[in-house]
Amino acid sequence: MAKVMGNRQGVGSAMNKLLFLPVFTGAVAFQLLASTPAELEAVKAETLHPFRGAGVHEVDPRSLDGKVMCGYQGWFNAEGDGAQRGFQHWTKGGGGLQPGNAKVDLWPDVSELGAGERFSTGFRHSDGSPAQVFSSFKEATVLRHFQWMRDYGIDGVFVQRFIAPLRDSQTLRHNNVVLDHCRAGANRSGRVYAVMYDLSGLGENRVLEAAQDWRTLRTKMGVTEDPAYLRHRGKPVVAVWGVGFNRGRSYSVEECRGLVEFLKKDGCTVMLGVPTGWRELTRDSVTNQTLHQVIQLADIVSPWTVGRYHTPAEAARHGQQVWKPDLEWCRARGIDYLPVVHPGFSWFNMMGKAYNKTPRLKGQFLWSQFVAARQAGAGMIYVAMFDEVDEGTAIFKCTNDTPVGNKERFLTYEGLPSDFYLKLTGQGARLLRGEIPMEGGVPR
């Protein structure tokens, strides 16, 4: 998820300022130019259409209960991928992906990708070969990611959709194309998916742009008619992330109320991504009681936890002292609760600090959270994130053979197989459903 810092101007005005997005989670810098309404409409006409392909039906799309879902950023580009956005999200400030300019703390394992899915960089492995990365703009790569979810028993993803940059036609095109890839991947692999709007970076009076975008996805793309689109309580799920945080937010909680009311009237089950301290209005939360009013309009609440604890012992305490009373609060009000777990965290190449801030401990940290969530009584879990190499929270295949001979420091999977965290997340889904016991330590 991302917190976006920076000013925005009104619709149709120049927007050529550099925007810095600290995500805490991570950060990305990119250049945005406001596009004309005609340019944006042309992109929508090109990229948005109903799904016509065949599907495989394995994961039940009718409910979030008993599911482990991952966040899917899908925000990576590479020079030569056809999107004309360069090495988006791989680099600190544009330009080539080369020593001194990388912002990711994990390096993806691209060994299974086809030749057209791999993009060489200025980095080298120890054997002298060029280090390569992938692009989310490539359909084959996204389809492969969804096949991995199927292979390892992961139910599906919330596809991240940042509203702030969608006034830029290139960004809109990328986001629409990736969402289309995810839809195809979910259908072909028998997974489920849902849209998650991230409000980070929005200025005042812009929150309802998410409502406009949602109506476009429903009418032009037909997402809620898709058999792989996640439903809960009989309605399509839409997530809104960034409600109630006390830093880096220009929009108000009251503005978020308007968005929730719109989505509810549009026949949606609404999930809110909120701060850890939402219930007591402490820590990372605003102190405004309006937040509770807005949350009680929604159907699912999901507090963000990356950076809130750093060891298995702290995770266990968080489960008992935070998740458990959170769940009790929600149950008393008829709201479902989706706790967030993550495998570890690092913020070194992006920010120059916090290298391996939250160590993975060969899976012990992530597994301790699955256990804590189950013990607290959770019936569903969100894993942050599937593909987030920026700040070291990814669970997909990453390599231990990281680039060498540069000032960047890359994390590894500590010698474990590149698919270890995919397997562990699948086991976490089995644990959640009571198919395996909590005792016995990290599954191998």
Q: What is the mean pLDDT of each run of 10 residues along the chain (444 residues)?
A: 31 26 34 80 96 91 98 98 96 91 97 98 96 98 98 98 95 98 98 97 94 98 96 98 94 97 98 98 96 98 97 98 98 98 96 93 98 98 98 98 92 98 98 93 90
Q: What is the pLDDT of residue 7?
A: 25
Question: Could you tell me if residue 18 is inside a domain?
Answer: no
Question: Could you tell me if residue 117 is inside a domain?
Answer: yes
SS (H, E, C) the chain: CCCCECCCCCCCCCCCCEEEEECCCCEEEEECCCCCHHHHHHHHHHHCCCCCCCCCCCCCCCCCCCCEEEEECCCCCCCCCCCCCCCCCCECCCCCCCCCCECCCCCECCCCCCHHHCEEEEEECCCCCEEEECCCCCHHHHHHHHHHHHHHCCCEEEEEEECHHHHCHHHHHHHHHHHHHHHHHHHHHCCEEEEEEECCCCCCCCCCHHHHHHHHHHHHHCHHHCCCECEECCEEEEEEECCCECCCCCCCHHHHHHHHHHHHHCCCEEEEEECCCCCCCCCCECCCCHHHHHHCCCCEEEECCCCCCCCHHHHHHHHHHHHHHHHHHHHHCCCEECCEECCCECCHHHHCCCCCCECCHHHHHHHHHHHHHHHHCCCCEEECCCCCCCCCCCCCCECCCCCCCCCCCCCCCCCCCCCHHHHHHHHHHHHHCCCCCCCCCCCC
CB 383 within 8 A of CB 428: yes
Say how many C-beta atoms besides its own lie within 10 A of residue 333's C-beta: 11
Bridge partners, 272 (sequence order): 240, 301
Q: What is the pLDDT of residue 4?
A: 30
Question: Could you tell me if residue 227 is inside a domain?
Answer: yes
Calpha distance 293→271 (Å, rounded) = 14
Q: Which CATH number does the domain housing residue 205 bear? A: 3.20.20.80
Question: Could you tell me if residue 137 is inside a domain?
Answer: yes
Number of domains in the chain: 1
Question: Could you tell me if residue 77 is inside a domain?
Answer: yes
Q: How much is the pTM?
A: 0.92
Structural domain including 424 reads 34-432
Question: Could you tell me if residue 14 is inside a domain?
Answer: no
Q: Write the burial class of residue 310 (CB in 10 Å: 0-12 exposed, 13-18 middle, 19+ buried).
A: middle
Q: What is the pLDDT of residue 17?
A: 24
Question: Could you tell me if residue 226 is inside a domain?
Answer: yes
Q: What is the pLDDT of residue 97?
A: 96
Question: Could you tell me if residue 12 is inside a domain?
Answer: no
